[in-house]
Structure 1
Amino acid sequence: MESAPREVLLFTLEGQRYGLPAGDVRELVRAARLTPLPRAPAVVEGLLNLRGELLPVLDLRRRFRHPPRSLSPLDHFIVARAGPRRVVLRVDRAEGLRVLAPGEWDDTPRELPGVGYVAGAAKLEDGLVLVHDLRAFLSEAEALELDAALAAPPETP
């Protein structure tokens, strides 16, 4: 990786800290009620209507094997880019942006088995933070299933 510092958005989920490259983050919004999306992959928690745009909310708890929890008004939503797709991540708390010095970045975790959506790790004074690559977050099958669910006509009650 390049030696230039990189900026990451740090967030917490179930007491653990994670990160996203700041370039992938578009905005932070308050938690709001979600609309179910029938036929969506299990990793999609629902849809968020953000100023008229329907965005899929990815279920990080399921992906990271944390216990499920109901939506709370204290949750934060991170609107981000996962390749060409805009997505929303529900997190317990967005901590803020952190500029990483070259010595604080480690590419090694992305080479480990089972961490296909990890871009690397931030080596901070208070511990290691895995920084996720949202472009690899959805499998190809999940992305196709999500596209089909988003394109399907609304179900009638």
Structure 2
Amino acid sequence: MRPLPREVLLFTLEGQRYALPSTDVRELVRAALLTPLPQAPDVVEGLLNLRGELLPVLDLRRRFRLPPRPLAPSDHLIVAQAGPRRVVLRVDRTEEVLTLEPGTLDETPATLPGVGYVAGAVKLPEGLVLVHDLKTFLSEAEGLALDSALAGAREGV
């Protein structure tokens, strides 16, 4: 039986293209005001109140060692599943959902030392795009700190 093609959502951050497996993506929303989350790990930019659900917004710029920049009205927010929790990723722009033919996702980069948070890479005519694995985005310590900070925020609501 032939495996089904995988789909990825392409997005940009500081002019660089990245991708997420479409199975991790729940929805796309417009940029909105974020609420600070005290005691959260550095990788958490704040909270987004999405229809009454408080979701942590992960700071991809910090994680990928890119220069920080304030939230802009043109930013896109990706609501995604990162292992057991729903999170939001702030990106410069979402581009498209790309269907990958079987075998076009190279999983080799996931095994290279120093390449974290990566499930594989896709070679496109414009260059290589890393496909990120949100299940590994937060370390265990960051996940515990985030859970504690979220519990505190929910008690204060």
**2:12 counterpart of 1:12:** yes
Summarize the alignment of residues 48-127 of structure 1 with structure 2, pairs less than 5 Å apart.
Answer: 48-127=48-127
Q: Residues 53-108 of structure 1, C-alpha deviation per residue, up to 9 Å, x if partnerless?
A: 00000000000000000000000000000011000000000001000112421011
- CA–CA distance in 2 between the matches of 1:31 and 1:16? 20
CA distance in 1, matches of 2:69, 2:156: 26
- In 2, Cα distance between the equivalents of 1:139 and 1:7? 26
What are the within-5 Å matches in structure 2 for residues 26-65 of structure 1? Answer: 26-65=26-65
Matched residues in 1 for 2:11 and 2:85: separation? Answer: 21
Equivalent position amino acid for 2:126 in 1: D
Q: Structure 1: how far apart are the matches of 2:103 and 2:150?
A: 42
Gap runs ≥5 in structure 1: none
Count of residues paired in the alignment: 154
Instruction: Give the whole-Å Cα distance in 2 for the aligned partners of 1:92 and 1:17.
Output: 10
Q: Write out the 4+ residue segments of structure 1 that deviate beyond 3 Å after TM superposition.
A: none
Contact 1:48–1:56, Cα closer than 8 Å, also in 2: yes
CA distance in 2, matches of 1:51, 1:103: 39
SS at match of 1:97: strand
State whether residues 104 and 124 of structure 1, in contact with CA within 8 Å, keep that contact through their aligned partners in structure 2: no
> Over aligned residue pairs, what C-alpha RMSD do you find?
1.4
Residue type at the aligned position of 2:104 = E
One-letter identity of the residue aligned with 1:125 = P
Distance 1:63 1:3 in 2: 33
TM-score, normalising length from structure 1? 0.94
Amino acid at match of 1:154: G
Tell me whether 138-147 or 108-117 shows the greater mean CA deviation: 108-117
Specify the code of the residue in structure 2 equivalent to 1:98.
Answer: L
For residues 33-59 of structure 1, the C-alpha deviation after alignment (integer angstroms, 9 at most, x for no partner) is 000000000000000000000000000
Q: What SS is found at the alignment partner of 2:54?
A: strand
Q: Is the 8 A contact 1:11 1:93 kept in 2?
A: yes
